[in-house]
Amino acid sequence: MNPFVRIREDIDSVLERDPAARSRLEVFLCYPGLWAVWIHRVSHALWGWRLRLPARMLSQIGRFFTGVDIHPGALLGRRLFIDHATGVVIGETSIVGSDVTMYQGVTLGGTGKGHGKRHPTLCDGVFVGNNANLLGNITIGENSRVGAGSVVLSDVPPNSTVVGVPAHIVYRNGERVLITDPHEIKDPLSDSLIALAGRVEELEERLGGQRRPAQQFTAEEAERTAYHEELERLRQYVSMGEGI
Ligand SMILES: CC(C)(COP(=O)(O)OP(=O)(O)OC[C@H]1O[C@@H](n2cnc3c(N)ncnc32)[C@H](O)[C@@H]1OP(=O)(O)O)[C@@H](O)C(=O)NCCC(=O)NCCS
């Protein structure tokens, strides 16, 4: 495809997605996220021609001017929009589909443990909020949304919204998803929560026969309060010298 046609397509997609964008000229001149993508197209071509060092150097020059660090090996689809640009990192084996939007501070990174394909794959239409970290060889399904500040460590099905650290699904196919089982939280603390829930259940079972109805506690409390009030009234009566 003619590179100028692609540039025009990129600019038009920004005008569609960013309400702050007013004209093609403004988008061309003021959107470093787009410059980063254009520089990447050249560095990726160099990488493909096995000119690895020039490719890396060009991507670093791009990083210097745009604040976006895209490894020349990463595969980017059409109409990628990186809004605000600063601090975005896209690792070597990342694959980004078409019509993806991401904000400043997003990382498509490795976990530091893997080799080979070790960065995320984002399918078409994915939206990634600012400062989200997507780590490892995971796949974010088509049209899914990742909340700002989330840390995503496992695959996300298509048409879902994930939020949190670690991220969990809050919407799937337009339906709200509520977590009812602590196993689904996948938090380092979830094992403790599961153990605690089991212990509470066990204690409740043990206490089952000895439970007292709530109204008994309320009546006892009322009796105690009345007793203390009466005691206080007598104390004041005696201190005023009006007692016996
Ligand atoms: C994730 C996001 C896309 C979800 O939007 P949405 O579909 O309208 O979802 P809702 O606002 O209904 O939120 C659903 C639940 O997730 C929670 N949630 C939403 N975003 C969250 C986030 N980033 N982190 C943690 N929890 C979040 C909400 O509190 C809500 O929980 P509750 O129902 O228990 O109160 C949106 O919140 C978001 O993070 N957008 C990123 C915007 C961004 O990066 N802007 C940068 C501008 S410079």
| Residue 228 CB contacts under 8 Å (≥ 6 apart), including other chains | none
Task: Tell me if 168 sits within 8 A of 162, measured CB to CB.
Answer: yes
Measured distance CA(152)–CA(134) in Å, rounded: 5
The pLDDT of residue 223? 87
112 token code pair: 């530091």
Q: Is 147 in the pocket of ligand 1 (CB under 6 A)?
A: yes
Nearest Cα residue to atom 7 of ligand 1: 161
Q: Is 149 left (phi over 0), alpha (psi -120 to 50) or beta?
A: left
Task: Say if ligand 1 is within 6 A of residue 145 CB.
Answer: yes
Does ligand 1 come within 6 angstroms of the Cβ of 129? Answer: yes
Q: Looking at residue 191, what is its pLDDT?
A: 78
* pLDDT exceeds cutoff 60 at 37: yes
Distance from Cα 148 to the centre of ligand 1, integer Å = 7
- Structure confidence at residue 29 as a pLDDT band (50, 70, 90): very high
Residue 82 β-bridge partners: 102
Segment 56-115, tens digit of pLDDT: 999 999 999 999 999 999 999 999 999 999 999 999 999 999 999 999 999 999 998 878
Which atom of ligand 1 is closest in space to residue 146's alpha carbon? 1
Give bridge partners of residue 130 from the DSSP assignment: none
Distance between CA 50 and CA 47 in Å, rounded?
Answer: 5
Element (H, E) at 175: strand 175-176
* Residue with the larger pLDDT of the pair 153 and 192: 153
Q: What b/e string do you get for 217-242 counting C-beta neighbours within 10 Å, with b at 16 or more? A: eeeeeeeeeeeeeeeeeeeeeeeeee
- Could you tell me the distance, in angstroms and rounded to a whole number, from the CA of residue 151 to the centre of ligand 1? 13
Q: Answer yes or no: is the C-beta of 164 below 6 A from any ligand 1 atom.
A: yes
The whole-number pLDDT of residue 209 equals 64
Kindly list the distances between the CA atom of residue 219 and the CA atoms of 28, 67, 77, 92, 236, in Å, as whole numbers in the listed order: 75, 67, 70, 69, 26
Asked, as a colleague might, if the bond just before 166 is cis with ω within 30 of 0, I would say yes
Beta bridge partners of 202: none
Task: Give the residues across from 156 on adjacent strands.
Answer: 140
Which atom of ligand 1 lies closest to the CA of 149?
23
Give the per-residue pLDDT at 192: 81
CA dihedral sign, ordered 215, 221, 223, 225: negative
Pull the structure tokens for residue 5. Answer: 């046609």
The CA distance from 33 to 118, in Å, is: 24
What DSSP element (H or E) covers 91? none
32 close to 68: Cβ distance less than 8 angstroms: yes
The string of pLDDT tens digits covering residues 159-202 is 999 999 999 999 999 999 887 776 676 677 777 888 888 899 88
Residues 108-134: tens digit of each pLDDT: 999 988 789 999 999 999 999 999 999
CA distance 7 to 35: 10
Predicted confidence at residue 220, as pLDDT, reads: 81
Q: What is the pLDDT of residue 215?
A: 66
Distance CA 55, CA 114 (A): 23
Q: Which residue has the higher pLDDT, 31 or 197?
A: 31
No. of helices (H) and no. of strands (E), the chain:
6, 16
| Residue 104 Cα: closest atom of ligand 1 | 48
At residue 214, the pLDDT reads: 67
